[in-house]
Amino acid sequence: MANVPLGLTIAGSETTGGAGLQADLKTFEEFGVHGMVVITCIVTMNTQTWEHEVSMVAMDAINKQFDTVFSGEKISAVKTGMIPSVDLIQLSRDRIIDSGIENIVIDPVMVCKGDISEINIESSSALRDILVPIATVATPNLLEAGVLSGLGVLESIDDIKKAAKIIYESGAKNVVVKGGGSLAGDEAIDIVYDGKDYEVLSSPKVSTQYNSGAGCSFSAAIASCLAKGMPVRTAVAKAKLYVRDAIEHGFSFNEHAGSVLHSASRVIEGNSLA
């Protein structure tokens, strides 16, 4: 019998397969983690404007999914993605706590494409007050870290460090701010904070517009490594290498968007992570 860690994502479906639960499952698979899903919503795109539209999954169906995934062997790590209502955020917290899962990665997804005007204040406050406090690792991107910390636009490594500290103080045991390519300069910067030390992870920016799913995949890779028993720092370092390969080999889907290649590390770089 195979001894495979179980991973769970509580997330939305991103229909084109680059981001959302699809990114999480593909990433789990690359790391040899068996992926399971509680699907919260379905994201589709207006084919002319590529505006995203969110269709909610009924609460009853969500509860039944939780019952199903929690009826088996112990789950080694859970990751959250798009959870687009306060009720669902509360339910997810309650169900995660009841399950006793030890490794909890909270990716506080607020909007799909970094448009701050679309942020729902109620949901983002609920993410901060209800889900981030139970995180083993919280993984906001630059925009989400600005909102969660109340600091607004983050423009420097110092700004990110201040935001990470505030988010840590709201209860997350570790904070990884995924600056990625969003900060000015030639380097993709991510910052890890564990309440004591800051670690600045830096790698040359990859010039591409085909990076849909980079954030979800980074967080899912961290969850995978935690599921396999790695310490947080090691998990984040491995996840960054994985996602850099995925971004480097991103590809176009249509004139609006393109995705990271989740299998790049294994298929193109010949570096299996499972």
Among the candidate windows 14-22, 89-97, 170-178, 183-191, which touches ligand PXL by CB under 6 A?
A: 14-22
**What are the start-end ranges of the E strands in 125-242?**
137-138, 175-180, 187-193, 198-204
Q: With binding defined as CB under 6 A, does residue 106 bind ligand PXL?
A: no
Q: Which of 5, 179, 181, 215 binds ligand PXL (CB under 6 A)?
A: 215
Q: Binding to ligand PXL by residue 142, rule CB under 6 A?
A: no
- Cα-Cα-Cα-Cα dihedral sign, residues 5, 249, 22, 205: positive
State which of residues 33, 62, 112, 160 lies at the interface with ligand PXL (CB under 6 A). Answer: 112
Q: Does 81 bind ligand PXL (CB under 6 A)?
A: yes
Site size toward ligand PXL (CB under 6 A) is 14
Helices and strands (H, E) in the chain, number of each type = 9, 11
Interaction of residue 12 with ligand PXL, rule CB under 6 A = yes
| 109 near ligand PXL, rule: CB under 6 A | yes
Dump strand ranges (E) for 66-149.
77-80, 103-106, 137-138
Burial of 184 (0-12, 13-18, 19+ CB in 10 A): exposed
- Longest CA span, the chain: 50
For the record, the structure tokens of 78 come out as: 């859970």
Nearer Cβ to ligand PXL (12/140): 12
Residues contributing to the site for ligand PXL (CB under 6 A): 11-14, 19-20, 43, 52, 81-82, 109, 112, 215-216
